[in-house]
Structure 1
């Protein structure tokens, strides 16, 4: 039996779990105060109190560092890389500390894990699995329409990859031989085409694809350009950004980012009903496009993420796409399982563990 500590920092919390093989035996989500967060100028300034949370967790449950077989950490904002499980080394830690392009709480995970692993007397491996920067695009997927702008692969890789593994197991098929269209329906929406284990195309969940609870998704470019020029003197750069990511989508139309609240409004308000149905419509359209990329050769269409908890919303999508293939639903997020199972596959040598080789690894 392998014991695996899982570390997953979020914006205002740190999720910690202990797995024994595939079973999660201890789980906590530790909330951080606003003052703790705001007193830190950078993400790495949070390292001391985030690390202490992990150390306190181990003490609280009488877990010795020497009884652990691995630490599984959330992958940070790294350069584009293939999916899979990577062993964390000094070079990766230094990149996350000093070179990463985006300040994000996930950058802390591997750094914390690597520092804690040094307290082990037996050499404790640290792994990351399927970070957000996973890039497996085919060449055609990178072309945007003008040579100055290239499409980039940024999506909910960890959750989408693990539910694809769940689906393959449920279908009694090999993961690497399956073709899936996977839709992660959360605060951002990612819809991707996965061919034989590789995500060959996916919408960027920040500025492409369907609108979501707080993001606009794709917008009509001509009208967008006019809007920006019209408002360029009254909006700051951050104002413009938050209009598209943070205050867009459901929130822009209905003043709520909660699908649950939007559905309550839709029971009495035709406009709210239209907006909810339009979001499902856009998700369905994106799924259809990804199915076409796979030539219609699908093992299943997978719906996951927080909004997949809503049977009503799922049905709005299924009624448009169920003729394309089997629809499988995995509501919520499975990040902790994804990290733990990635480390477990590495420990059991069920897949080759990748080694971080710097910034140009594709």
Structure 2
């Protein structure tokens, strides 16, 4: 039996859990008051604080870290990389400190895993980092010479839901063609083609459909006019795209339960916003079906909004003609982190090594040099 300690640092909390093989022994969410975090100038400066509080929590639970075979952590902010399980090496540790992709508390994941492994023994892993990028070349090109698309989304939870479906239908994830839609504060829709995420439409930076807190796409020329209208600063525009767009802009809330209550109370505009979101998600799902030339085994809905029967039914009505719709509501990040480590410990998967080099160097490098 393998013992795996799972670490998931977030913006205002850290989740820690112990698994014995694939069974969760306990899971705890440690909240961090804003005043405690405010004293740290940079995210990386929080590392000793988070280590101490995790160690204290494990002690309170009667867990000796030296009995762990592995420490498995969430990971964000690294350069684009392949999916799967990575063993934390020095280059990953270095990049976790500087956040070359973005600066987010998830940068602390590989640092925590490696520090605990070095202090107590065991191995340090990260699983399906947020920067997983397995795009086909056709998915990367845009009409701007200066810009190409990179993968952004929810690979950890998307792959966890996809693997659950694979188990349920007694097939390997690597054998299936799946469309997975993560429905949360942000929404991403991805094509999973025989184990690789070959295309993703993600609302984080303004693609695809609107989401509870994100604008999604809009006519580009009109967006440029808005940027230069003098009404908004660059920071304000980015906030509208990534934090206060979508439902938040139209309805003043990002809570699906509140939106549905308004609909039940007769709010026709709230119903329009909800219907429009489903309409736009369905268009993204259909686009991913074309990526796989219509050969789709299933459409999987996951994330918090997948608990909504209203949203699920709206989507089924529009996309069930493509493939069966399977619903795995909620998030499975902790389970996915433990499962990835377990696959390596049991010898079912070889861990990858982080090189610190982007998986795609650019079209200029490939075709023009």
TM-score (norm 1): 0.96
What's the counterpart of residue 261 of structure 1?
Answer: 258
Please list every run of 5 or more consecutive structure 2 residues that lacks an aligned counterpart in the other structure: 361-369
What's the counterpart of residue 322 of structure 2?
Answer: 324
1:213-258, Cα deviation, whole Å (9 max, x unpaired): 0100111112111111112xx4222211111111100011111111
What's the counterpart of residue 356 of structure 1?
Answer: 354
Separation in 1, partners of 2:90, 2:226? 46
User: Closer, same or farther in 2 for the Cα pair 1:99/1:280, shift >3 Å?
Assistant: closer
What's the counterpart of residue 29 of structure 1?
Answer: 29
What's the counterpart of residue 213 of structure 1?
Answer: 212
Q: Does 1:40 align with 2:40?
A: yes
Q: Does 1:246 align with 2:243?
A: yes
Which residue of 131, 142, 153 maps to 2:129? 131
Displacement after TM superposition at 1:358 (Å) = 2.7
SS of aligned partner of 2:350 = coil
Separation in 1, partners of 2:102, 2:41? 14
Separation in 1, partners of 2:147, 2:358? 20
Kindly report the root-mean-square deviation, in angstroms, between the aligned alpha carbons of the 2 structures: 1.2
SS of aligned partner of 1:202 = strand
What's the counterpart of residue 307 of structure 1?
Answer: 305
SS of aligned partner of 2:81 = coil
Separation in 1, partners of 2:323, 2:69? 40
Separation in 2, partners of 1:278, 1:43? 37
What's the counterpart of residue 221 of structure 2?
Answer: 222
Corresponding pairs, count: 358
Separation in 1, partners of 2:119, 2:151? 36
Displacement after TM superposition at 1:292 (Å) = 1.1
What's the counterpart of residue 62 of structure 1?
Answer: 62
TM-score (norm 2): 0.95
Separation in 2, partners of 1:358, 1:253? 40
Separation in 2, partners of 1:82, 1:109? 17
What's the counterpart of residue 273 of structure 1?
Answer: 271
Separation in 2, partners of 1:49, 1:354? 29
SS of aligned partner of 2:86 = strand
1:257-302, Cα deviation, whole Å (9 max, x unpaired): 1111111111211111111110011001100110111111011000
